[in-house]
Structure 1
Amino acid sequence: MFTKRDLLRSAALAAITASTAKSVPVYAQTSADRPGFFKAKDIAEAGFIYGLPIVMNYAVMHEYAIDRSSGQFKAPFNQIKNEPNVFTYKDTAIVTPNSDTPYSFVWMDLRTEPVVLSVPAVDSKRYYSVMLCDGNTYNYGYIGTRATGSEAGDYMVVGPDWKGDTPAGIKQVFRSNTLFSVAGYRTQLFGPDDLDKVKEVQAGYKVQMLSAYLKQTPPPAAPAIDFPTIDKELVKTNFFDYLDFALQFAPAQGNENEIRAKLALIGVGPGKTFNFKDLPLEQKLEIGLGMKEGQRKVDEAVGNVGKTVNGWRVSGLPGDSAHYNGDWLKRAVAAQAGIYGNDPEEATYPFTRVDSDGQTLDGSKNSYTLTFAPGQQPPVNAFWSLTMYDGKSQLLIENPINRYLINSPMLPNMKKNADGSLTLYIQNKSPGADKEANWLPAPNDTIYLVMRLYWPKTEAPSILPPGEGTWQPPGIKRVA
């Protein structure tokens, strides 16, 4: 199964050693117009960092909304798919998936007209959010408990160039920067016996085109698109083919003009026809070396993101276009660390691969504990969780009790210590029947842990601003 982790580990060396059979250059420029080898390599490097989130997003969109045989297909464009369960180890399309809230997804095609998203009234005790994310992976708006409240409402999503009046009844208009966009819904689940109530909420989520909402004749359909197939092998060499394709649906913003102009010099961008397999060997080398160095820089930046707090990395990575402000490395790091992450005000995600002594977390070698002092659990308006992932793939792990996380709704069934503190047992084997309620099963290998604070409190103690807040996650302790 193709996972985004495979894409992240893009084996650019495959590009360098690709077939050297006779090929026809696709660049419109003459050799005199084309950048020299090292400049072209540098452009490919910068272009890889710029394009990584865009290509990652395209890969997810292709699996979820285009390729019906992908094994991860959800629904065609402009149709909502409600997931009746939380994600498990079987869900592999998105790295570090949340297993707290059953998801709903709608991939929107905004080429001909806006889409209207309607939400029902939701019990104020049940957190939900609808995150709007465009093809650049910018979070351009929210509907939900924190952002718009718990009342019912109709909201309109428009494309980058849409011009028109806001119809009566529409509470708010959100503008996507790209012609294809995704709405990701998260609906809180209080426990296994709560699933039917979650389904009732999901049944109230409605998606319709503006013309249907207004009971008018729809505009002519947009032209059919031949979406290129993407998988973990193709992306090794064809990364820029996919970026080239995706950019035609993403009008350039002002801060993109420079990188777009550079990419055009190597044949990438709207109106171009980049095709890796037809490049001469020297140009394949330029592209391959640039990709390899770009991936190295992203990997390095992911490891150093935010601030270290008791072994946890705490940062506020995701956001809208203004949040990134043309910092393409920051945007790539956010996507690689966990594509479709929330803005920190909606959810903040401390993560770690090490214990409080800086040693790599490894379930095959050690057992661990995490203890929250009395009154020192994560400060949130909604709820918090701690989720276990495989340290290599960043996917949920199969385990004997089908438990992928521990979250605050589980607290009534957990055991507290005599002083009121809460200890979680993080290990591969059961800590014993008396402690199993507090057990978070770990892989028999390296561990990646992510804490989620949904709608974090802003008054002290608070994790906000990320890395500077008055509340700090406690360190993971190795059990002797």
Structure 2
Amino acid sequence: MIAAALGATAGARLPSPSQAQAPAPPPAAAEARQIAHDAYFYAYPLVKNYLSIYQFALDPGGSQYKGPVNQVNNVARVFTPADTGVITPNSDTPYSFLILDLRAEPIVVTLPEIEPGRYYSLQVVDLYTNNVDYLGTRKDGNGGGRFLIAGPGWEGAVPPGVRRVVQLSTLLAESQFRTQLLRPSDLDRVKAIQAGYRAEPLSAYLGRPAPPAAPSIAYPPISDASFDPQFWQYANFLLQFCPPIPAEAALRARFATIGIEGGGPWPPAGLAPEVLAAVEAGGTEARQEIAQSLAKVTTSVGLFGTPEAMAGRYLQRAMGAMGGIYGNSPEETVYPNYALDEAGQRLDGSRSNYTLTFPPGRLPPVDAFWSVTMYDARTQFLVDNSLRRYLINSSMLPDLKRDADGGITLHLQHASPGADREANWLPAPDGPIGVVMRLYLPKPEVLDGSWLPPAIRTAGPAR
């Protein structure tokens, strides 16, 4: 059985899909529960992805709407507590969003040339939340260029003037540009860079007639409130945009035995009440297992990556989507995260003050930049505070106060640590705390584990 190989550990894998069962009549309740458990791991990232896609591009009346599909939609500011379209948002790099519908034809993306020393990227994420590829600083330098993004089955020649092709296995996708903001006064430069991001259909790029339009889609509304009650309806809706890859054909056929299949109705006709109840129970069990496994994680490594890196790692992919969807692959960014202090106690700003100290010469080793961001652990969103300070990052180093030995100590607490320490204060919620460190373009010593992030230490009771 697939789930027998999974357990609740971060290293668990599904067995090879070739071992999955062939299509069969509707199974008995016990087997249906097991199939649903496994299908929930598989489908959770798709539904979580759709929750953001819907808010960003499909709900014009919503508070998180950024703009239409297949268009670059710039947000010329860093994220604040008002931004709730994605959990654990980064507040270092203003975003530009490009939600992709690749059914009719590919999209040509343009990145402008930018100055050396500034980081920018386009993270291309398929509907499964795999990081299919990156455009920008790490892979392409800062010289800009044009790139083709194509869906499954596209077999055209590389168009003239296009540096390279990125091909996805899903017809819908999410992608986002990150543009480094060096300081608040730098925002106009970021806006100028964002103005150079372009997306156009391949036919328009080539100056040719457009192909027939893809059929319109009746996108079902989704919200946090409807996510769980309608999970399987959303899963079936989304799977129609994910043609089964050969390695997963048998796995998808197994899911279909209980009616979990692309474009199918939910609940499917003829599914016995006891089997339907077993499917719901299997999904609930899987969701709990994802959350329990995620609670043990201290790093993003293993939760985000390419389709090849994440092949078979359905639990890990679901953990990444639950804990911080759209996390970068390790070679792009590593995310040490904190839920516990050095003594293993849950971080809570209503009980304690905390410190995070970088000893002399031990700042995070990166080729781009690093940051430490504060979150409300209950909501996974940024924390409102009087300073409007949601993170401390490497561009702020000249303004930070040094310790007597030359190190840097950050103060993580709800109340001000005092005027003499306020430059190093990262305001915390008056309750459970979540802290994420971001290491953009990490150096080898981060990836091989020879540099480890410092622990968060308790610094007395909260005031």
TM-score when normalising by structure 1: 0.89
Which SS does the other structure have where 2:121 is aligned? strand
Query: Are residues 1:426 and 2:412 paired?
Result: yes
Deviation at 1:264, TM superposition (A): 0.5
Write the distance in 2 (CA, Å) between the matches of 1:332 and 1:470.
Answer: 28
Which SS does the other structure have where 2:125 is aligned? strand
Match of 1:347 in 2: 333
The letter of the residue matching 1:476 is: I
Deviation at 1:271, TM superposition (A): 4.7
Write the distance in 2 (CA, Å) between the matches of 1:185 and 1:358.
Answer: 36
Deviation at 1:258, TM superposition (A): 3.0
Which SS does the other structure have where 1:237 is aligned? coil
Write the distance in 2 (CA, Å) between the matches of 1:233 and 1:445.
Answer: 23
Contact kept, 8 Å, 1:255 with 1:326, in 2: the verdict is no
Contact kept, 8 Å, 2:411 with 2:417, in 1: the verdict is yes
Unaligned runs of 5+ in 1: 1-31, 306-311
The letter of the residue matching 1:369 is: T
Contact kept, 8 Å, 1:316 with 1:348, in 2: the verdict is no
Q: Deviations over 1:88-140 (max 9, x none)?
A: 10011111110000000111111111100001111111111110001011111
Q: Which residue among 161, 170, 173 is the counterpart of 1:178?
A: 170
Write the distance in 2 (CA, Å) between the matches of 1:278 and 1:260.
Answer: 20
Match of 2:10 in 1: none
Match of 2:231 in 1: 239
Deviation at 1:279, TM superposition (A): 6.6
Match of 2:431 in 1: 445
Change (3 A) 1:218 1:271: same
The letter of the residue matching 2:262 is: P
Change (3 A) 1:331 1:341: same
Change (3 A) 1:37 1:316: closer
Unaligned runs of 5+ in 2: 1-23
Which SS does the other structure have where 2:419 is aligned? coil
The letter of the residue matching 2:294 is: V
Q: Which moved more, 1:47-56 or 1:275-284?
A: 275-284
Write the distance in 1 (CA, Å) between the matches of 2:206 and 2:426.
Answer: 50
Match of 2:43 in 1: 51
Deviation at 1:260, TM superposition (A): 0.8
Deviation at 1:278, TM superposition (A): 9.8
Match of 1:259 in 2: 251
Which SS does the other structure have where 2:308 is aligned? helix
The letter of the residue matching 1:132 is: V
Query: Are residues 1:477 and 2:424 paired?
Result: no
Alpha carbon RMSD of aligned pairs, Å? 1.5
Deviation at 1:183, TM superposition (A): 1.8
Query: Are residues 1:61 and 2:47 paired?
Result: no
Contact kept, 8 Å, 1:276 with 1:284, in 2: the verdict is no
Write the distance in 2 (CA, Å) between the matches of 1:393 and 1:150.
Answer: 36
Change (3 A) 1:405 1:165: same
Identity in percent: 45
Q: Deviations over 1:127-159 (max 9, x none)?
A: 111100010111111111111100020000011
Within 5 A, what are the aligned runs for 1:221-300? 221-275=213-267, 281-300=273-292
Within 5 A, what are the aligned runs for 1:23-422? 33-275=25-267, 281-305=273-297, 312-313=298-299, 315-422=301-408
Which SS does the other structure have where 1:181 is aligned? strand
Deviation at 1:314, TM superposition (A): 5.8
The letter of the residue matching 1:241 is: Q
Q: Deviations over 1:261-296 (max 9, x none)?
A: 121111121252223899764244212211111011
Query: Are residues 1:454 and 2:440 paired?
Result: yes
Aligned residues: 437
Write the distance in 1 (CA, Å) between the matches of 2:25 and 2:242.
Answer: 26
Which SS does the other structure have where 2:99 is aligned? strand
Contact kept, 8 Å, 1:403 with 1:440, in 2: the verdict is yes
Deviation at 1:86, TM superposition (A): 0.6
The letter of the residue matching 2:189 is: K
